[in-house]
């Protein structure tokens, strides 16, 4: 049962579609799938990469401690994502750790065989270019948020982006708020207050892990620039 399910999931990934049957089969040779519980660590900041991780289900976060006391969540990824290829490609130590957030099925591809495939399978290189391009844009957006928007604006911006993916007005949070707070570059307390502010403004309504956008217009205003005085 596990094998069937895993293979099906592998097939559904964007990577599989992009590189085709043969290359995917080659990548799978020597790879293993694992079902991991929350808090499992896939790889650790500062260590040399030995595997490439393909997320088949669940959610995984890139977490950085960087020598300081607390941790930052850089980004979280869901099914279909190929994790932290840069470290593998360059054979350099990871800059972040990979942590399972919700029970996740992970395909682990040996780094050496991934690098070899990258060199002699043009389709793989081409697919990786596209993936990296998309990931780059995620980070750029995030840096823009961090450098020129205040905490409540960042939340509003994030909500709009998450919403953009699905056309509904209800957003089911897939991660604890603590994780989202750190992803947004703020403390959990500040996230609480930012959420309260958006409710106050009539932009959203929150019930536990479900956020309903009741005023898309108000939400866009809050994301824009007018949050809490001080132009």
Partner DNA sequence: GTCTGGACTTGACGCTTGTCAAGTGTCTTG
Partner DNA sequence: CAAGACACTTGACAAGCGTCAAGTCCAGAC
Q: Where do contacts with a copy of itself occur on this chain (CB under 8 A)?
A: 46, 64-72, 74, 85-87, 89-90, 92-93, 95-96, 118-119, 122, 125-126, 128-130, 132-137, 139-149, 182, 185, 224-226, 228, 230-231
For the chain, the straight-line distance linking the first and the last C-alpha, in angstroms and rounded, comes to 58
The entry of DNA, a copy of itself, none that residue 189 binds, CB within 5 to 8 Å by partner kind: DNA
Interface with DNA (CB under 7 A), residue from 86, 110, 174, 185? 185
Q: Considering beta carbons, is residue 4 or 68 the nearer one to a copy of itself?
A: 68
Residue keyed to tokens 């750190």:
182
The entry of a copy of itself, DNA, none that residue 176 binds, CB within 5 to 8 Å by partner kind: DNA
Q: Torsion-angle region of residue 208: left (phi > 0), alpha (psi -120 to 50) or beta?
A: left
DSSP β-ladder status, 210-213 and 72-77: unpaired
Q: Which of residues 89-148 bind DNA (CB under 7 A)?
A: none
Q: Select the span of 46-54, 85-93, 123-131, 178-186 touching DNA (CB under 7 A).
A: 178-186
Number of residues that bind DNA (CB under 7 A): 24
Q: Considering beta carbons, is residue 34 or 65 the nearer one to a copy of itself?
A: 65
Q: Is residue 176 close enough to count as binding DNA by CB under 7 A? A: yes
The entry of DNA, a copy of itself, none that residue 8 binds, CB within 5 to 8 Å by partner kind: none
Q: What contacts 24+ positions apart, CB below 8 Å, involve 86-89?
A: 86/132, 87/49, 88/49, 88/51, 88/52, 88/114, 88/115, 89/115, 89/118
Q: Considering beta carbons, is residue 115 or 193 the nearer one to DNA?
A: 193
d(CA 98, CA 85): 12
| Residues 54 and 13: beta-carbon distance below 8 Å | yes
Q: Which of residues 32-91 bind DNA (CB under 7 A)?
A: 70
Torsion of CA 44, 141, 181, 107, to 10 degrees: -40
Taking CA atoms, 50 is separated from 16, 30, 89, 210, in Å, by 21, 13, 11, 38
- By CB under 7 A, name the binding residues for DNA: 70, 150-152, 176-178, 185-193, 195-196, 206, 209, 228-231
């Amino acid at each position: 049962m596990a094998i069937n399910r895993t293979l099906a999931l592998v097939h559904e990934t964007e990577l599989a579609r992009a590189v085709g049957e043969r290359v995917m089969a080659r990548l799978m040779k020597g790879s293993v799938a694992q079902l991991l519980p929350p808090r499992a660590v896939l790889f650790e900041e500062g260590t040399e990469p030995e595997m490439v991780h393909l997320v088949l289900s669940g959610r995984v976060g890139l977490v950085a401690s960087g020598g300081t006391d607390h941790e930052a969540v850089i980004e979280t990824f869901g099914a279909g994502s190929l994790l932290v290829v840069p470290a593998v490609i360059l054979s350099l130590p990871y800059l972040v750790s990979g942590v399972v957030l919700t029970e996740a099925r992970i395909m682990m591809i040996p780094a050496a065989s991934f690098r070899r495939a990258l060199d002699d399978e043009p389709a793989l290189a081409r697919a990786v270019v596209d993936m990296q391009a998309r990931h780059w844009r995620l980070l750029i957006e995030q840096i823009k948020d961090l450098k020129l928007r205040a905490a409540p604006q960042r939340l509003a911006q994030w909500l709009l982006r998450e919403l953009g993916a699905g056309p509904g007005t209800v957003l089911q949070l897939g991660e604890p708020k603590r994780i989202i707070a750190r992803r947004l570059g703020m403390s959990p307390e500040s996230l609480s207050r930012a959420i309260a502010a958006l409710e106050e403004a009539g932009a959203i309504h929150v019930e536990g892990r479900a956020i309903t956008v009741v005023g898309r217009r108000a939400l866009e205003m809050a994301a824009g620039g007018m949050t809490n005085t001080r132009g």
